[in-house]
């Protein structure tokens, strides 16, 4: 007796060109029950991959009747524990349209592979006793918590944007985390779950510690890219079964299968790490969180000491509810004084060191007081470029249009490309003129460490950058070691500017501040202000003895002045006026069209044709470019960009018709470089 088949629609979890069908028809035994959201193993382009079953209700148009004999058969239906939830399906379809991304890749963010887990390898978060009773909130925290409580009481009810979305603007050390924890406890009392996003993996260990100490380890799940397949699958199931009440992780944790969701929190909401740059879908976790809040009818808290310009603008326009914490959690504690050092004066005094006299003095004082110091520098490595002093030749990466950075370690002297990873040994002579006068320029974390050893030879120094923190567990160990005072000084890049909440830090030194401004992008001022403010806030958290030394060759810079005074409002007013004048977000929307190829000149011609076609056919837009990218060559491919400024959503749909499929599209890009 021959099998009876039925036809089902499946979205393969792989990249498919946007102008092609995103959903395909397959056949399956008539007796097998199917429904939307099931994960199926299917044959596709000579491979066996996962796909998601979609009923007709999810399709814009019903597929034509097809003879089932010509269709490929589904290999198998996976278990219910892998299903994509109804809420996730809605979110994936929104992401496809919002980010101009293939449906399969959006759905893939929400899928997990089944892994057999032996009893010996069962994953457990290290049990921590509950050394952590909830402190009494201060008046500002109570006021903020009361407004959030009102939204929690109305979970599941349709509410206005401003009644669901809260921007918690609290200065560093103001106790934003305690407000989060208060809200989480209210949500847990209703039997519901919370997604707690942190911008980077580096912050995950500290968040885990805080939340397991307060709520216990059994209710916490962790999601991030460094988990093994088994760990991710196990956490996924704990979340799906509603056993995990608090889900902690960086941007991808927003896709956790929490069907009983009651609250979303984005800590450090301004951070650019929430944007996925390097691959489709190029989503921003904040945008996804706001949409998920709308779908699930739940509140979302965006927290930051230095909110993004866009978020603060929407709060000022009453689209979000603004909650402000102007004082540090422990009343009486002030923000640290910031002393600006003009490095031009140091140069006049024949001080050619990376460290000003004031910073050296304060470092010695801090060390002698048995206190700790943070040194922030925006680049890793020893020197940011290597140049011949005879002919001026700068040694560059053969694959990318960037200079190689000089690194030392393990008895090696090498030059590394920070974009493609290319390495080569340091040259004894110039490759161009054979001169032996090779000079190393610029400042990196490794060079700072070397000079610091000379200044304080007895001090114990810990360096945190992507060179030293490249293995699983490195961040957690580094944080633990520094918090337990096994090191006196912590040197680091952006990863040390946020989230570190330790009482023993007495000094923060900011080296090479001017490097923060060396990017031709409309967000440069914003990011520089955020970095300075955030790292400054790591001190004076338990007593008013901390201080900040900020070294610069441009002390008149308004961003530096406002950051030194901890004055976000004045910085915001200056920046929002500039954004309005230049017609940048939040006053205009942006699309970045990225064109890549191996022939630089041909790429320029192609980019010009694309731009000309857009100008002819789309009205009411502004265009920047086409122009070579800031780093015009990466991994042996040249890059040109076209930036389009526009106002209405319809423009996005119209634009797509005139952008070739082999171009990359970034909606609301975090930078224009």
Answer whether residue 603 shows pLDDT above 70. yes
Using alpha carbons, select from 382, 385, 396 the residue that is nearest to residue 432. Answer: 396
pLDDT at 648: 86
User: Using 50, 70 and 90 to split pLDDT, how confident is the model at 300?
Assistant: very high
Cβ contacts of 218 within 8 Å, gap of 6 or more: 243
Tell the burial category of 272 from Cβ atoms under 10 Å away from its Cβ (0-12, 13-18, 19+): middle
Using alpha carbons, select from 567, 512, 502 the residue that is nearest to residue 540. Answer: 502
Q: What is the mean pLDDT of residues 3-19?
A: 89
pLDDT at 129: 55
Q: Please tell me the pTM assigned to this model.
A: 0.92
pLDDT at 66: 57
Using alpha carbons, select from 232, 228, 258, 230 the residue that is nearest to residue 245. Answer: 258
pLDDT at 1: 57
Q: What is the mean pLDDT of residues 157-169?
A: 96
Answer whether residue 390 shows pLDDT above 60. yes
Q: What is the mean pLDDT of residues 585-599?
A: 95
Alpha helices in 513-633 (DSSP H): 524-536, 558-564, 568-582, 600-617
Answer whether residue 126 shows pLDDT above 70. no
What is the Cα 493 distance to its own chain's centre?
Answer: 15
User: Using 50, 70 and 90 to split pLDDT, how confident is the model at 337?
Assistant: very high
**For the chain, how far is it from start to end, CA to CA, in angstroms?**
64
pLDDT at 206: 78
pLDDT at 263: 98
DSSP annotation of 636 reads T
How many other β-carbons are positioned within 10 Å of the β-carbon of residue 423? 13
**For the chain, how many residues are written?**
673
Angstrom CA distances, 72 to 9, 25, 606, stand at: 12, 8, 39
pLDDT at 409: 63
Q: Which residue has the higher pLDDT, 672 or 608?
A: 608
User: Using 50, 70 and 90 to split pLDDT, how confident is the model at 466?
Assistant: confident
How many Cα atoms occupy the beta-carbon half-sphere of 648 within 13 Å? 6
Using alpha carbons, select from 660, 657, 666, 520 the residue that is nearest to residue 597. Answer: 660
Q: What is the mean pLDDT of residues 246-262?
A: 95
Answer whether residue 440 shows pLDDT above 90. no
What pLDDT, in 10s, does the model give residues 204-227? 777 888 899 999 888 999 998 888
Percent of the chain with pLDDT over 90: 63
Answer whether residue 167 shows pLDDT above 60. yes
DSSP 204-221: HHHHHHHHHHHH-STTEE
Answer whether residue 349 shows pLDDT above 90. yes
Helices and strands (DSSP H and E) totals, the chain = 18, 27
């Amino acid at each position: 007796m021959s099998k009876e088949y039925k036809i089902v629609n499946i979205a393969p979890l792989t990249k498919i060109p946007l102008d092609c069908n995103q959903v395909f028809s397959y056949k399956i035994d008539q007796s097998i029950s199917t429904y939307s959201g099931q994960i199926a193993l299917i044959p596709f382009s000579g491979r066996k991959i996962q796909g998601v079953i979609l009923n007709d209700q999810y399709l814009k148009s019903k597929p034509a009747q097809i003879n089932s004999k010509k269709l490929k058969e589904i290999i198998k239906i996976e278990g219910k524990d892998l299903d994509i939830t109804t809420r996730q399906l809605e979110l994936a379809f929104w992401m496809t349209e919002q980010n101009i991304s293939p449906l399969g890749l959006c759905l893939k963010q929400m899928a997990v592979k089944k892994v057999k887990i032996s009893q010996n390898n069962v994953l457990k978060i290290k049990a921590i006793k509950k050394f952590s009773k909830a402190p009494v909130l201060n008046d500002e925290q109570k006021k903020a918590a009361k407004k959030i409580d009102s939204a929690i009481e109305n979970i599941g009810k349709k509410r206005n944007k401003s009644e669901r979305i809260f921007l918690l603007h609290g200065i560093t050390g103001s106790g934003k985390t305690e407000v989060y924890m208060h809200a989480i406890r209210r949500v847990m009392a209703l039997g519901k779950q919370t997604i707690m996003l942190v911008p980077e993996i580096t912050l995950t260990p500290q968040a885990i510690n805080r939340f397991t100490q307060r709520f216990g380890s059994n209710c916490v799940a962790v999601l991030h890219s460094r988990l093994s397949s088994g760990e991710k699958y196990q956490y996924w199931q704990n979340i799906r079964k509603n056993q995990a009440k608090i889900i902690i992780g960086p941007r991808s944790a927003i896709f956790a299968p929490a069907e009983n969701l009651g609250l979303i929190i984005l800590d450090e909401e301004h951070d650019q790490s929430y944007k996925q740059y390097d691959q489709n879908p190029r989503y921003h976790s904040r945008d996804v969180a706001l949409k998920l809040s709308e779908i699930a009818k739940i509140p979302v808290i965006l927290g930051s000491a230095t909110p993004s310009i866009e978020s603060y603008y929407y709060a000022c326009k009453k689209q979000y509810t603004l909650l402000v914490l102007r004082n540090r959690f422990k009343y009486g504690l002030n923000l640290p004084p910031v002393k600006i050092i003009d490095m031009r004066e140091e140069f006049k005094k024949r001080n050619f060191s990376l460290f000003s006299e004031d910073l050296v003095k304060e470092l010695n004082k801090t060390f002698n007081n048995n206190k700790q110091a943070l040194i922030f520098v925006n680049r890793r490595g020893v020197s940011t470029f290597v140049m011949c002093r005879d002919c001026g030749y700068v040694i560059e990466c053969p694959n990318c249009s960037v200079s190689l950075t000089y690194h030392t370690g393990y008895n090696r002297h090498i030059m590394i490309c920070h974009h493609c990873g290319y390495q080569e040994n340091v040259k004894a002579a110039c490759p161009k003129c054979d001169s032996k006068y090779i000079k190393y320029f610029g400042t990196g974390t490794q060079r700072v460490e070397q000079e610091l050893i000379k200044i304080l030879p007895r001090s114990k120094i810990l360096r945190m950058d992507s060179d030293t923190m490249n293995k699983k567990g490195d961040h957690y160990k580094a944080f633990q070691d520094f918090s337990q005072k096994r090191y006196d000084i912590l040197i680091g890049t952006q990863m040390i500017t946020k989230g570190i909440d330790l009482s023993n830090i007495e000094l923060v030194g900011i080296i090479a501040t001017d490097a923060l401004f060396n990017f031709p992008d409309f967000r440069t001022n914003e990011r520089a202000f955020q970095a300075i403010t955030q790292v400054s806030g790591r001190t004076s958290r338990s007593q008013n003895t901390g201080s900040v030394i900020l070294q610069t060759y441009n002390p008149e810079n308004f961003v530096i002045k406002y950051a030194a005074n901890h004055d976000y409002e004045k910085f915001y007013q200056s920046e929002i006026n500039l954004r309005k004048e230049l017609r940048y977000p939040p006053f205009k929307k942006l699309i970045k069209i990225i064109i890549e190829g191996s022939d630089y000149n041909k790429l320029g011609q192609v980019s010009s044709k694309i731009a000309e076609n857009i100008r002819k056919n789309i009205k009411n837009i502004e265009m920047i470019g086409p122009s070579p990218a800031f780093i015009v060559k990466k991994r042996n491919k040249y890059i040109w960009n076209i930036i389009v400024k526009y106002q209405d959503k319809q423009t996005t749909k119209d634009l797509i018709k005139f952008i070739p499929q082999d171009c990359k599209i970034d909606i609301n890009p975090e930078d224009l470089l």
